[in-house]
Structure 1
Amino acid sequence: MRYENSHIPREKISQQKDYKHNNYQHFTTQRRKDKKAVSFRYLALFFITFVTRLLPIFAIFVMGNKKLIIMKTRNSSAHAAKNIKAKEPVKMRFKKLANGNLSIYLDIYHPNSGERQYEFLRIYLVPETDEKSKAMNSKNLELAKTIQAKKIVQLNTEIHGISNAKERSKILLRDYLASYASNMGKSVQQGINSLIYHLKKYKQNDIQIGKIDKNYILGFIDYLEDAQIEHTERHKGKTLSNNTQASYFKYFKMALNEAVTDDIISFNPILSIKKKRRPTPKKVDREFLTAEELQKFASTDFPNDLLKRAFMVGCLTGLRHCDIKQMKWSNVGVIENGVESIKLIQQKTQDAVSIPLNSNITKWLPKRGDAKDTDLVFEGLITLGRTNEILPTWAAKAGINKHLTFHISRHTFAVTAIENGIDIYVVSKILGHKSIAITEIYAKVLDKSKRDAMEKMNQIEV
């Protein structure tokens, strides 16, 4: 067989074949490398595309989960807060009264029964016009919060079915009365304090409230019948009046009724006493001064000029001794509906009262001089107890044969106002009565006075 290029030597041809083979291997190896490089580039491009396209989606997913976690946390917190509130279903609320005061009451929810109860605490917040009113509001608010805390404890006891009535019944009677009095008005506080005093005189050692029985009550009734007055010189050594005994007994019954409400005792032992055995008040005529007697008092000299002025202002305005004693110059001359008035908060009821000024009232007010608005009008006025001890001396000097107390000035105003044709509703507002029925008593007093006068006229033979 004849080879092409036969003229080329065999060795040369062999070298050419080797060269081609080597080139082929080199080309194949390079191609493989190129394919690997292309594959790597595609892989890198794919990875970059994957990351750039899916990363935002992944971020959204992560953030969504984070928000979900936050929302779940918030919901859990809200649920926990709701559960906490559910354990304290006693809310303090405020009712605005017509006089501008706020009456504090508790909104109580009983989970076991599903009933809602509103308990008015007889604690008030007054408009904060000075530091004294601010301090009083702060004190009253703290007291209300204390009562609220006690109610929460009582309610939790009810919710969880815990019965500690036996322990509560071990509370000492006089301690409970003092606690009960702290939530009441000033006049009731004074009455209960006097009751505590006589209970101590009756039995030196205090008694657990759960151990009070019929015999204890009957023994106290017997004590009251023989008890003597010790606080005032004028009446010292005299026995308590029937009305005073009835008053103490009324406060005792009120407090024990409250103990039943508080689940401290299950029954008020006073209810086991027959009514005819209980102290009952006797109906007495309300003393007052006639216009002629009032003129006699005004013209009679009296050593204590400040007391005389205070009594006359009481007869002309119907204000109580405590209100006259606390009256400041800022309360006098207040413009009310275009009229100069005395405007103040009554100490007994915490209600506002406004009394138009006239020349008679102004004449009996002390001279102001350089006194500031914050100064008392009747600076140095003696206490009510001392006042009632020395007023009869003035009555005797004026030739008036009546048992004179400062409160008669209030009766005098009411009867005189009604007698002179002032509408009974207006009189009721000036006196600060909560019910017009109280004011109507003075109208009945006036009717009786007229009947008595006509009876005397009937005795004259003409």
Structure 2
Amino acid sequence: MTNLCTKVTVRKRPIKNGQLSLYLDFYPAIRNPRTGKLSRREYLGIYIYAHPKEKFEVQYNKSMLQNAELIRCQRIQSIINQDFGFIDHSKGRESFIEYFREAMNESTNYRNWENAFKHFCNYAKGECCFDDITVEFCQGFLTHMLKLKTPSGGTMKASTANNNFGKLIAVIRRAVAAGRLKDNIIPFLKPAKEEKTKKEFLTHEELKRLAATPCKHEVFKAASLFSCLTGLRISDIIALRWENICEAPDGGWCLRLTTQKTKTEATLPLSDEALRLCGERGTGQVFKGMAKSLCPVYLKDWIVAAGITKHITFHCFRHTFATLQIASGTDIYTVSKMLTHTNVTTTQVYADVVSELKREAANKITLE
């Protein structure tokens, strides 16, 4: 027999980040028909703003409270009918980690997802069920990543942590849509604040000067200038093979490859000048002997010999390509595709750099 419950009340419990967790309070307590244990509380997994300020926050709270009230009414009806199926939370004990793994295996960007999945598994110590997915737990994942040490001795960048955090949010969104999670906590999940870092690049004049300056390693020079003309990362240039360079339908040439970092399939136009940097067509690796280990040996001396005082890394050649393309009038969506960015907002930073340069140029002419 179960105790007769005469009252079910929606209550709020303060939690972190200025939020309230909604739960049902049963009085007297109800008894689980399977375990025999008494229970007075049922947490709904619904979270609202403790002190709503914006109009959308007030509307969100109102909507969530209405949802909680609907559940309260359903519980009362269930108790009257002696139907205690609502206290069976077995589905909530199913593995969220396995659900995350399924989403990763179905993604088109497996490597990017794999990194996020590994970090999440480490954070959860290999065990996480759907009931564990709370605002506090998910925000803790972000905090965990921001404290992780990198091989260079620093900590994980906010942008990298947010990228991984975004994968978790995508899985939660999928679970909500599939009815695996009762409530959508995504509005309460906040990304880490990213510091804007200056993306160094070469001006068109500096690029021409660098191209005219001898380098002690000709293959390294050719690969570097090739990056400036195509925007390819060093990993893709090292992996580039002659079979990746094909004739395009318009009679020109193009690159057909899968990027090393994001595993994105791409077909990119190739200019005649970039093709000449590849040398005589052959087999195997295009830039034979090219390796990351050449950068610290040859790059700095070559940059200094060209009279360039900026701190230039090989990746700056990719920045150079993007900035000069936008500065010359290429629209941001085209540049985004050529850089194989998955989101155009990633490319927006280059447009911001160009806008800043234009403002600086305008300010150089004054009447005083």
Q: TM-score range by the shorter chain?
A: 0.5 to 0.7
Q: Secondary structure of 2:247's partner?
A: strand
In the alignment, what sits opposite 1:357?
271
Q: Deviations over 1:340-359 (max 9, x none)?
A: 3124155458565342432x
1:319 corresponding residue in structure 2: 232
Q: CA RMSD in A?
A: 4.1
Match of 2:179 in 1: 263
Matched, 1:377 2:274: no
Residue in structure 2 matched with residue 245 of structure 1 by the alignment = 161
Report which structure shows greater RCO (CA 8 Å, sep ≥6).
2
Is the Cα contact below 8 Å between 1:418 and 1:424 reproduced in 2? yes
Q: Which of the residues 294, 297, 300 maps onto 2:207?
A: 294
Say which of 303, 316, 321 aligns to 1:413.
Answer: 321
Higher helix share: 1
In the TM superposition, residue 366 of structure 1 has moved relative to its aligned partner by 4.2
Distance 2:139 2:264 in 1: 36
Match of 1:208 among 129, 154, 171: 129
The residue type paired with residue 377 of structure 1 is V
Map of 1:398 onto structure 2: 303
Structure 2 counterparts to residues 114-263 of structure 1, below 5 A: 169-186=92-109, 189-230=110-151, 236-263=152-179
SS at 2:253 equivalent = strand
Task: Give the secondary structure class of the aligned counterpart of 1:182.
Answer: helix
For 1:337, give the aligned amino acid. Answer: D
Q: Tell whether the 8 Å contact from 2:240 to 2:287 is kept in structure 1 after alignment.
A: yes
Q: After TM superposition, give the deviation of residue 311 of structure 1 in Å.
A: 2.8
Task: Number of aligned residue pairs: give it.
Answer: 275
Cα distance in 1 between the residues matched to 2:342 and 2:186: 29
Q: TM-score under structure 1 normalisation?
A: 0.48
The reply to whether residue 329 of structure 1 matches residue 252 of structure 2 is no
Per the alignment, in what secondary structure is the counterpart of residue 287 of structure 1? coil
Instruction: Note closer, same or farther for the CA distance 1:356–1:215 as it changes in structure 2 (3 Å cut).
Output: closer
Report if aligned partners of 1:200, 1:206 keep a CA contact under 8 Å in 2: yes
Unaligned runs of 5+ in 2: 1-85
**AA at the equivalent of 2:106:** N
1:423-462 mapped onto 2 (5 Å cutoff): 430-431=338-339, 442-453=350-361, 457=364
DSSP-derived class of the 2:155 partner = coil
Taking the aligned partners of 2:105 and 2:176, their CA distance within structure 1 comes to 18
Query: How many angstroms does 1:392 deviate by?
Result: 9.7
CA gap 1:214/1:307 in 2 versus in 1, 3 angstroms: same
Match of 1:154 in 2: none
Closer/same/farther in 2, CA of residues 321 and 167 from structure 1, 3 Å limit: farther
Q: Shift of the alpha carbon at 1:313?
A: 1.0
In the TM superposition, residue 414 of structure 1 has moved relative to its aligned partner by 2.7
Q: Deviations over 1:121-176 (max 9, x none)?
A: xxxxxxxxxxxxxxxxxxxxxxxxxxxxxxxxxxxxxxxxxx9x955544444433
How far did 1:272 drift?
Answer: 4.1
Change over 3 Å in CA distance of 1:253–1:367 after alignment to 2? same
Alpha-carbon shift at residue 398 of structure 1 (Å)? 1.6
1:341 equivalent in alignment to 2:253: yes
Larger radius of gyration: 1
Deviation of 1:329 after TM superposition, in Å, equals 2.2
1:438 and 1:279 map into 2 onto residues whose CA distance is: 16
Cα distance in structure 2, aligned partners of 1:433 and 1:224: 23
**CA offsets 1:398-425 (integer angstroms, 9 cap, x no match):** 244336253x333312322343455667
What's the secondary structure of 1:245's corresponding residue?
helix
CA distance in 2, matches of 1:404, 1:365: 21
Using the alignment, how far apart are the partners of 1:198 and 1:424 within structure 2? 32
Structure 1: segments with no counterpart, 5+ residues: 1-162, 231-235
One-letter amino acid of the structure 2 residue matched with residue 446 of structure 1: V
